[in-house]
C-alpha cells in the first residue's frame, strides 16, 4: 500500500496559545487556562486554573474536543483533548493542532508523538539540545496519510497504549506503597514485641 505524505500545515490548523494580559482592567470574563504543567505523558489532563480576563477570547482559540496540545518548550509527548471543555484556552507556551477532514486526530497525535517530535530538535554550537517549537516548524513536519480506516485503527492503538501505561504506572505506585506499609507494619510489630520482653 502506497502512503501519501502531506505537510502538517496542509492537514491541520495550528493555533498559537493566548498570551497573558498585560493591561489591567475590569476582569469581566472567566476562563479555564491550561498551562504546560497540566499536560502529562498518559494523555490525562490535570485540573485547570480559573482565571479572569478583561477581554473575551476569540472562539476559534478556545480548546475543542479532538484538539492536539503540544508544549512549545522541550515537547516529549502529545496530549489529545478527549472531552468537551467550556471556555478553556491554552497559554502561549502551548500550541493547538486542529485536524481537518483528511486526518483523524487520534492518528495525528500518535504520529506526532512517535515520529514528529524528533524532527523538532535543535543543536546549539556547544552541542546542547534545545527544543522550542515555532508554528512554522510545526507546519512543515511531513505526515504519512494512509486511508481513514487505517488512521482510525492506529489512533485507537495509541490511545489504548497510553491507557495501559497509565494503569501500569498506577499499579507500580500502589505496589510500592504496599511494600512500604508492609515493612513499617513488620518493623513496628517487632519493636513492640522487644518492648514487651524488656518489661517482663
pLDDT at 123 over 60: no
Task: Report, as an integer, the average pLDDT of 119-124.
Answer: 58
- Mean pLDDT, to the nearest integer, of 31-55? 87
How confident is the model at residue 199, as a pLDDT?
A: 58
Q: From its phi and psi, is residue 127 left (phi > 0), alpha (psi between -120 and 50) or beta?
A: left
Alpha-carbon dihedral angle through residues 133, 138, 140, 145, given to the nearest 10 degrees: 150
pLDDT tens, residue by residue, 126-183: 555 556 788 888 899 999 999 999 999 999 998 888 878 778 777 888 888 888 888 8
| pTM attached to this predicted model | 0.78
Domain that holds residue 50: 4-199
Q: Is the pLDDT of residue 119 over 80?
A: no
Q: Say which CATH number the domain at 74 has.
A: 3.90.220.20
pLDDT at residue 145 in the model: 93
Query: Are residues 39 and 79 in contact, defined by beta-carbon separation less than 8 angstroms?
Result: yes
Domains: count for the chain: 1
Amino acid at each position: 500500500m502506497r502512503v501519501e505524505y502531506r505537510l502538517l500545515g496542509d492537514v491541520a490548523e495550528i493555533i498559537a496559545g493566548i498570551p497573558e494580559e498585560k493591561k489591567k482592567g475590569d476582569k469581566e470574563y472567566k476562563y479555564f487556562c491550561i498551562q504546560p504543567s497540566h499536560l502529562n505523558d498518559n494523555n490525562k489532563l490535570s485540573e485547570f486554573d480559573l482565571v479572569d480576563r478583561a477581554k473575551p477570547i476569540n472562539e476559534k482559540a478556545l480548546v475543542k474536543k479532538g484538539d492536539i496540545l503540544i508544549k512549545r518548550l522541550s515537547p516529549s509527548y502529545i496530549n489529545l483533548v478527549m472531552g468537551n471543555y467550556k471556555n478553556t484556552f491554552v497559554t502561549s507556551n502551548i500550541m493547538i493542532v486542529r485536524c481537518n477532514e483528511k486526518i483523524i486526530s487520534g492518528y495525528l497525535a500518535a504520529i506526532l508523538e512517535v515520529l514528529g517530535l524528533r524532527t523538532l530538535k535543535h543543536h546549539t554550537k556547544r552541542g546542547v539540545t534545545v527544543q522550542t517549537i515555532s508554528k512554522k516548524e510545526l507546519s512543515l513536519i511531513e505526515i504519512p496519510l494512509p486511508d481513514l480506516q487505517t488512521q482510525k485503527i492506529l489512533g485507537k492503538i495509541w490511545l489504548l497504549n497510553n491507557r495501559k501505561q497509565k494503569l501500569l504506572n498506577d499499579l507500580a505506585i500502589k505496589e510500592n506503597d504496599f511494600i512500604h506499609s508492609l515493612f513499617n507494619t513488620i518493623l513496628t510489630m517487632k519493636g513492640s514485641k522487644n518492648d514487651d520482653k524488656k518489661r517482663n
